[in-house]
């Protein structure tokens, strides 16, 4: 389907321009990922933070084959002779026990459904040192008691190992969401794969089921760089294993291909870090900060308009770069779309010091760019028009949870991927994004996202002006939910500030 917005390039034209097509929400992302997998002839590489084999299939192509769940799809593909590899994130067994157990169940589910498939469950190898383990001892003991009381001491080898020996705390994670077929077709973005992540562009469901995200579907030579990054991540996961984390029999290192010069408009960007030893070690040391560097470079040359969607905005270095851009370029406008609050605050009701400090980092960053931009900045949040019926409401409406990681600068450059604008994504976690320097793609992506949130704008209205977003958000806030024009509402600055507690004891990169 082609969508013309404000008289500019269509989705189809943008895709033809550079071999890339934006995927907005899982309504577009999930079927595209299924088609990529079904189209693989020799090799299918998957790297995800969360991938549930019981996730329902949505594409017509999968349904036509009689397939129902992702476990069926990977079994079908691997049985056809395709070499399927899944690199799946493991989580800290003490502080993220539920996610850790879910990851083990997912890995076992894929292995059972598709025995020929190679599944590697991997946690980031960085671990905290004994000084920090001592400082966190009360919290560690509390988590261990909860595991024992729930009867989960034997749930996984990692839990058993931590409870019978020294607790091993893993502060970083494998956060990328990447799929590559045959080295020439790639999908990269923020979407993981489970039912929780599925949402449509109407977001017509209760707040706790909404999930706005973006990815990009890429064909051609650029996918080779994504394949190379997967292989290096796969090999590192094999090399850095714990004694209670045995390597599956069918998992072996892959040959790393030569680096291919990325001469076109699409460039793969990475965040990669390495473990560091020592009694006071906490997080890893950064090895590649390409996503951070790309943002800094784009902000430094921005002249007209910066559009950002991010789950978190907590990296003060990026806030400072945005502020300097505003001071350098007096006509520069900036629009930032954020969720009302992080998922663990909205849905998990987390009120801990760590959650409050994370919000303190964000309000500090927002204050910095507000001071620099003034009324040339709009910070907004989405909530679905209509009276809310979910558990989490904002100004009477169901919130739309923003998980996308998108930056568009001057309608000429776009970054889409797994990395949020926080220290963790820029320095610690393993992340993968792409930068696309193609004006037709960038303008089309910007227009589609503007239409997504604002709907059709009147002739003569320039949605690259921050005041348009600010005025629309204020107008919606003054209306009852059932008569609002669109999704946009003001960011809850006062509420966030009241909740926040800036207590920089732990490294900012952790948040």
Q: What is the pLDDT along the chain (511 residues), one digit of tens a residue?
A: 223 333 333 444 444 457 899 999 999 999 999 999 999 999 999 999 999 999 999 999 999 999 999 999 999 999 999 999 999 999 999 999 999 999 999 999 999 999 999 999 998 989 999 998 898 899 999 999 999 999 999 889 889 888 887 778 899 999 999 999 999 999 999 999 999 999 999 999 999 999 999 999 999 989 999 999 999 999 999 998 776 677 888 899 999 999 888 788 999 999 999 999 889 888 899 999 999 999 999 999 999 999 999 999 999 999 999 999 999 999 999 999 999 999 999 998 989 899 999 999 999 999 999 999 999 999 999 999 998 888 899 999 999 999 999 999 999 999 999 999 999 999 999 999 999 999 999 999 999 999 999 987 776 789 999 999 999 999 999 999 999 989 999 999 999 999 999 888 878 898 9
| Domain residue limits at 58 | 21-123+173-239
Is residue 14 included in any domain, yes or no? no
Spell out a b/e string for 319-353, using b for 16 or more CB atoms within 10 Å of the CB, else e: bbbbbebbeebeebbbbbbbbbbbbebbbeeeeee
Would you give the distance in Å from CA 417 to the centre of its chain?
Answer: 7
Domain identity same for 235 and 270:
no
- The candidate with the shortest Cα–Cα distance to 179, out of 36, 25, 18, is 36
d(CA 175, CA 271): 10
Strand 20-24 versus strand 43-48 pairing type: unpaired
Is residue 38 included in any domain, yes or no? yes
3-state secondary structure of 135: helix
d(CA 164, CA 437): 52
3-state secondary structure of 286: strand
- The candidate with the shortest Cα–Cα distance to 179, out of 170, 188, 191, 192, is 188
- For residue 87, list its beta bridge partners: 47, 120
**Alpha-helix residue ranges (DSSP H) falling in 264-386:** 290-301, 316-328, 343-346, 353-373
Domain identity same for 433 and 470:
yes
Domain identity same for 222 and 271:
no
Domain identity same for 35 and 72:
yes
Is residue 294 included in any domain, yes or no? yes
Domain identity same for 281 and 184:
no
Q: Are 391 and 408 in contact (CB under 8 A)?
A: no
3-state secondary structure of 456: coil
**Residues, the chain, total?**
511
Number of domains the chain contains? 2
Domain identity same for 362 and 214:
no
d(CA 89, CA 110): 14
Domain identity same for 232 and 357:
no
3-state secondary structure of 442: helix
Is residue 49 included in any domain, yes or no? yes
Is residue 129 included in any domain, yes or no? no
Domain identity same for 210 and 318:
no
Is residue 132 included in any domain, yes or no? no
d(CA 479, CA 452): 20
Domain identity same for 306 and 353:
yes
Is residue 359 included in any domain, yes or no? yes
CATH of the domain at 228: 3.30.870.10
The residues, any chain, with a CB within 8 Å of residue 164's CB and separated by 6 or more, are none
CA atoms within 13 A of residue 101's CA, in its CB half-sphere = 13
Burial of 221 by CB count in 10 Å (0-12 exposed, 13-18 middle, 19+ buried)? Answer: middle
The helix (run of H) or strand (run of E) holding residue 225 is helix 222-239
Domain identity same for 359 and 306:
yes
Is residue 167 included in any domain, yes or no? no
- Residue ending a domain, choose from 189, 221, 239: 239
- For residue 187, list its beta bridge partners: 179, 217
Domain identity same for 316 and 443:
yes
Spell out a b/e string for 288-310, using b for 16 or more CB atoms within 10 Å of the CB, else e: bbbbbebbbebbeebeebbbbbb
> pTM (2 decimals)?
0.94
Domain identity same for 221 and 275:
no
- Residue ending a domain, choose from 239, 256, 279: 239
């Amino acid at each position: 389907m082609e969508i013309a917005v404000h008289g500019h390039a269509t989705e189809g034209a943008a895709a033809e321009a550079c071999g890339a097509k934006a995927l907005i929400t899982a309504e577009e992302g999930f079927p595209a990922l299924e088609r990529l997998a079904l189209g693989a002839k020799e090799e299918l590489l998957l790297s995800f933070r969360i991938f549930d084999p019981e996730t329902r299939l949505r594409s017509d192509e999968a349904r036509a084959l009689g397939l129902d769940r992702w476990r069926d799809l990977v079994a079908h593909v691997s049985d056809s002779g395709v070499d399927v590899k899944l690199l799946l994130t493991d989580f800290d067994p003490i502080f993220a026990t539920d996610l850790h157990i879910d990851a083990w169940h997912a890995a076992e589910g894929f292995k059972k459904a598709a025995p020929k498939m190679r599944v590697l469950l991997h946690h980031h190898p960085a671990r905290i040192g004994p000084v920090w383990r001592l400082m966190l001892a009360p919290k560690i003991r509390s988590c261990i008691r909860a595991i024992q009381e729930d009867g989960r001491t034997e749930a996984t080898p990692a839990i058993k190992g931590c409870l019978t020996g020294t607790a091993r705390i893993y502060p970083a994670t494998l956060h990328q969401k990447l799929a590559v077929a045959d080295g020439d077709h790639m999908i990269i973005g923020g979407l993981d794969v489970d039912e929780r992540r599925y949402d449509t562009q109407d977001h017509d469901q209760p707040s706790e089921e909404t999930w706005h995200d973006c990815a990009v579907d890429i064909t051609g030579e650029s996918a080779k760089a994504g394949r190379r990054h997967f292989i290096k991540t796969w090999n590192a996961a094999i090399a850095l294993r714990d004694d209670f984390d045995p390597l599956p029999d069918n998992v072996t290192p892959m040959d790393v291909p030569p680096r291919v010069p990325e001469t076109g408009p699409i460039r793969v960007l990475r965040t990669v870090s390495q473990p560091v030893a020592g009694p006071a070690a906490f997080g890893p040391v950064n090895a590649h900060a390409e996503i951070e560097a790309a943002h800094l470079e784009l902000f430094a040359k921005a002249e007209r308009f910066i559009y950002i969607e991010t789950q978190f905005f907590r990296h003060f270095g990026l806030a400072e770069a945005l502020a300097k851009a505003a001071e350098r370029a007096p006509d520069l406008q900036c629009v930032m779309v954020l969720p009302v609050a992080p998922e663990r605050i909205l849905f998990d009701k987390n009120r801990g010091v760590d959650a409050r400090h994370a919000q303190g980092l964000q309000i500090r960053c927002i204050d910095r760019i507000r001071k620099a931009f003034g009324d040339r900045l709009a910070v907004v949040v989405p909530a679905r028009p209509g009276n809310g019926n979910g558990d989490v409401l904002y100004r009477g409406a169901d919130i739309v949870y923003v998980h996308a990681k998108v930056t568009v600068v001057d309608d000429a450059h776009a970054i889409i991927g797994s990395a949020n604008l926080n220290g963790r994504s820029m320095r610690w976690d393993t992340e993968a994004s792409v930068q696309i320097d193609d004006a037709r793609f960038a303008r089309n992506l910007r227009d589609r996202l503007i239409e997504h949130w604002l709907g059709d704008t009147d002739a003569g209205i320039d949605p690259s002006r921050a005041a348009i977003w600010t005025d629309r958000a204020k107008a919606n806030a003054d209306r009852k939910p059932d008569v609002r024009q669109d999704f946009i509402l003001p960011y809850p600055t006062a509420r966030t500030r009241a909740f926040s507690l800036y207590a920089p004891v732990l490294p900012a990169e952790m948040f």
